[in-house]
Structure 1
Amino acid sequence: MEKTAREKMLANEPYIALDPELERMQAQAQTFLHVFNSSLPSEIEKRREMIHALFGSIGQNFEVKPPFRCDYGCHIYAKENLFINYDCVILDCNTVYLGSNVLLAPKVQIYTAYHPLNPELRRSGLEMAAPIVIGNNVWIGGGAIVCPGVTIGDNTTIGAGSVVTKNMPANVSAAGNPCRVLKEV
């Protein structure tokens, strides 16, 4: 039996993003996010309930500041004490795992989605997506970009404006474009 587009997407295999099931899921998430991002500052509990419904799972004690953007939401799995600051984007075409005590500064971008390097394949509409894992006690500075397939180890800090193109070990401070380890902590 052939895999569905969603199954291919989650397996990091080429898939067509314009698949009807994926389009329906994405439209539902975007409608949900429109309400979330339009909520009043006083509607904290409403926003918490919406994130509980949107994410695949989320632990206790979290805050997601609007505006927030994602593709589906249901592929985001977070543990307790998550803080996502203003203007963050998580393209969750594959799974995004966020450990305990993760802090995402404003405008952090987490991208699981990517396109083939071959221009003919790109024109065909095929896309791919690789999972991202962010460990416990990680702080990602403002405007940083985490690329597809990256794992960031526990207790690591990623400097503002960094572009994380490869795995980062635990217990380090890293920054730059491309991001590189600056020192152990």
Structure 2
Amino acid sequence: MTVPQQVLDVLHSGDVYLWDGELMDVAQQEQRDILRRTNELPAVDPERERLLRTYFAEMGENTWVEPPLHANWGCSTHLGNQVYANFNLTLVDDGEIFIGDHTMIGPNVTLVTTGHPIRPDLRERLAQFSEPIHIGRNVWIGANVTVLPGVTIGDNAVIGACSLVTKDIPANSVAVGSPCRVMREINEHDNEYYWRDRRIPVDL
């Protein structure tokens, strides 16, 4: 990771700030160059994993990110062990993103840490702010989900496809919708059935 700590301190502060092109553009371009190289390589090329480990703040063991990956920075994202992310993961990671061990992320998921003030004159001056996203251990995030700034998703939670997650989701729950709401807790039925009325084989 080559991004200066001075830049990270601003990005991760939680305060509103103005984009400093002279300082931030150069740092971001270096990260974009790494990302471009990873997306150009075959998925199984060992060089791709080496570059990703340089690109992310943290990347655990046996973690796999399908190409293509899209991100603002990369160096603000922390991936645990045995994380799987399907293709077209988009990380608006000016703020930090934390993804726990064994979490699975479906295709076309977007994790957004950054917002802009409602006040028009501040937006004209490129003002922005970021709040971290925390995704727990063994979470399953379905296809086309968007998670907004400041959200925490608890351990073992399941987020249904196409959901817009605007608020925290508790652990051990199934949540879906736009905005995303908890439907129910994970329960005894889930211990016996893997989908609708299809029973989990006894040998699993």
1:41-56 correspondence to structure 2 within 5 Å: 41-43=43-45, 45-56=46-57
* 2:31 alignment partner in structure 1: 29
Deviation at 1:19, TM superposition (A): 3.2
* 2:129 alignment partner in structure 1: 128
Identify unmatched segments of 5+ residues in structure 1. Answer: none
Secondary structure class of the residue paired with 1:174:
strand
Secondary structure class of the residue paired with 1:34:
helix
Q: Distance in 2 between matches of 1:10 and 1:139?
A: 26
The CA RMSD over aligned residues, in Å, is: 1.5
Deviation at 1:22, TM superposition (A): 1.8
TM-score by length of 2: 0.85
In the alignment, is the contact (CA less than 8 A) between 1:5 and 1:17 conserved in 2? Answer: no
In the alignment, is the contact (CA less than 8 A) between 2:81 and 2:100 conserved in 1? Answer: yes
Deviation at 1:162, TM superposition (A): 0.3
In the alignment, is the contact (CA less than 8 A) between 1:5 and 1:16 conserved in 2? Answer: no
1:137-152 correspondence to structure 2 within 5 Å: 137-152=138-153
Secondary structure class of the residue paired with 1:89:
strand
Q: Distance in 2 between matches of 1:42 and 1:151?
A: 32
Instruction: Work out which of the two has the higher radius of gyration on C-alpha atoms and give 1 or 2.
Output: 2
Q: Distance in 1 between matches of 2:20 and 2:70?
A: 19
In the alignment, is the contact (CA less than 8 A) between 1:98 and 1:136 conserved in 2? Answer: yes
Deviation at 1:5, TM superposition (A): 5.5
AA paired with 2:34?
A: F
Count, aligned residues: 182
Q: Distance in 1 between matches of 2:160 and 2:35?
A: 28
Identify unmatched segments of 5+ residues in structure 2. Answer: 1-5, 187-204
| Cα distance change on mapping 1:48 and 1:5 into 2, 3 Å | closer
Q: Distance in 2 between matches of 1:17 and 1:154?
A: 34
CA offsets, 1:114-172, max 9 Å, x none?
Answer: 10011122122111111110000001101100000100000001011000001110000
Secondary structure class of the residue paired with 2:11:
helix
| Cα distance change on mapping 1:26 and 1:134 into 2, 3 Å | same
TM-score by length of 1: 0.93
* 2:11 alignment partner in structure 1: 9
Q: Distance in 2 between matches of 1:5 and 1:118?
A: 24
Q: Which moved more, 1:168-177 or 1:22-31?
A: 22-31
* 1:64 alignment partner in structure 2: 65
AA paired with 1:79?
A: G
In the alignment, is the contact (CA less than 8 A) between 2:43 and 2:66 conserved in 1? Answer: no
Secondary structure class of the residue paired with 2:137:
coil
Secondary structure class of the residue paired with 1:35:
helix
CA offsets, 1:5-60, max 9 Å, x none?
Answer: 542321111122243232122111111111111112441x2221111111111110
In the alignment, is the contact (CA less than 8 A) between 2:43 and 2:67 conserved in 1? Answer: no
